[in-house]
Structure 1
């Protein structure tokens, strides 16, 4: 007869399903989803629509309504940030790698071109601190022959958006709000 599994032996091993379930629950308790918030808003508005609601209950419900509206706005913004972060993660990663490589090349030059180095650092900060609620405009867009004809018309719009964010980042760097050496804290910056 082979070994049999006892309750004590099976309870020693943690279950992956239980861990994931509790993690999911704790995350949803912190920030309820958009649909839950909208349902709570509807319920609160229905309660306010009643004529025979006591004055103190009405005040409390109005406060709850304002709080729920703010929570809904925050949740929608967080969802939009998450979607854009996932969508542009790969493009930003490649832009960051190219910039780190170029910064290292400029640093190795005997007379270091400070203007070029500063421009590359502005571009690296562009990638790192791009506004979370805007669609990312790549610094090094890849184009094929077919796409290049179509993009020529919209190229000025993308260039204008890119320059606008660059100017914002450059200003923040000059004020000291953003690091002037962003490559210092990134992995892969010290490769030789």
Structure 2
């Protein structure tokens, strides 16, 4: 009778039959770059890309130039009109896509430029807000059932300012140059950690920043338009339109100057006529 083969012998035989296994070398970041490129291609939007539009515009221009230069390569009038309209449409779409790409690139640059400053301002304002809310909770527990005290009113004002500071750091317009709420001076940078902590504790409630944007953030909090303010170009979404008073004065001033300029050439003509009359009388 034949003996059964052991499991180890069969496994070795299978491995020899298949041959040595070849593993692909590991390349870090290769797959990540591929997915990132796919995300960028999907983010360009629907329709042809910028390179495709440029090549199509180049082909249409060559076709129309060839038709004009070579009399043999004429095309019907309706076909020529269609090609010209297509060329204009491609040029218009290329301008729009180029402007959108430039805006997106500028937006990414501004976000990355002020990311750390905004992050530190938001962290500090959030820390101040939490501390003030804890103080308010202890104040309400201590004075439960009593009238509103001046300290409580002061805490409420400080809490409101801290909430505005947090929203200032989050919803400040992304396309506008960011002005820090808590800028560090050169003296604070040279101090040690302990000294800087004491200075921070003394002046952490005093937020600086841009006063106009501070008022715009407060107004946006009341109206519920913080997202609109964040995505605006220059923060005009949270500002009220100013009355145009100077423009009327400039137009009136320019109108007066134009009237003077038009009235000035009339004076020399009268003098020239008098000179002509006198010369003529003398020679007569």
Would you say same fold, with TM above 0.5?
Answer: yes
State the Cα distance separating 1:23 from its structure 2 match. 1.4
Q: What residue number does 1:171 align with? A: 219
Given that 2:220 and 2:226 are in contact with CA atoms closer than 8 Å, whether structure 1 keeps it comes out as yes
User: Taking structure 1 as reference, are residues 134 and 172 closer, same or farther at Cα in structure 2, changes over 3 Å only?
Assistant: same
Structure 1 ranges of 4+ moved more than 3 A: 13-18, 36-43, 45-53
Do structure 1's residue 126 and structure 2's residue 168 form an aligned pair? yes
Do structure 1's residue 69 and structure 2's residue 117 form an aligned pair? no
Q: What residue number does 1:115 align with? A: 157
User: Which structure 2 segments of 5+ residues have no match?
Assistant: 1-15, 68-78, 140-151, 190-207, 228-284
The structure that has the greater radius of gyration is 2
Q: Deviations over 1:74-128 (max 9, x none)?
A: 1111111111111111111110111011101110112372221111111111110
The whole-number CA distance in structure 1 between the counterparts of 2:83 and 2:21 is: 56
Q: Which moves more between the two structures, 82-91 or 37-46? A: 37-46
User: Which structure 1 segments of 5+ residues have no match?
Assistant: 148-158, 180-192
Aligned length: 160
Partner of 2:86: helix, strand, or coil? helix
State the Cα distance separating 1:5 from its structure 2 match. 5.8
Given that 1:38 and 1:72 are in contact with CA atoms closer than 8 Å, whether structure 2 keeps it comes out as no
Q: Deviations over 1:28-78 (max 9, x none)?
A: 42356xxx8489458627845845482112212222222221111111111
Do structure 1's residue 85 and structure 2's residue 111 form an aligned pair? yes
- Map 1:40-55 → 2, pairs under 5 A: 40-41=53-54, 44=57, 47-48=60-61, 50-51=64-65, 52=67, 54-55=80-81
Partner of 2:210: helix, strand, or coil? helix
CA RMSD of aligned residues (A): 3.7
The whole-number CA distance in structure 1 between the counterparts of 2:224 and 2:20 is: 63
The whole-number CA distance in structure 1 between the counterparts of 2:120 and 2:91 is: 44
Do structure 1's residue 24 and structure 2's residue 36 form an aligned pair? yes
The whole-number CA distance in structure 1 between the counterparts of 2:104 and 2:85 is: 29
Given that 1:122 and 1:169 are in contact with CA atoms closer than 8 Å, whether structure 2 keeps it comes out as yes
Q: What residue number does 1:6 align with? A: 21
The whole-number CA distance in structure 2 between the counterparts of 1:128 and 1:45 is: 45
The whole-number CA distance in structure 2 between the counterparts of 1:46 and 1:114 is: 68
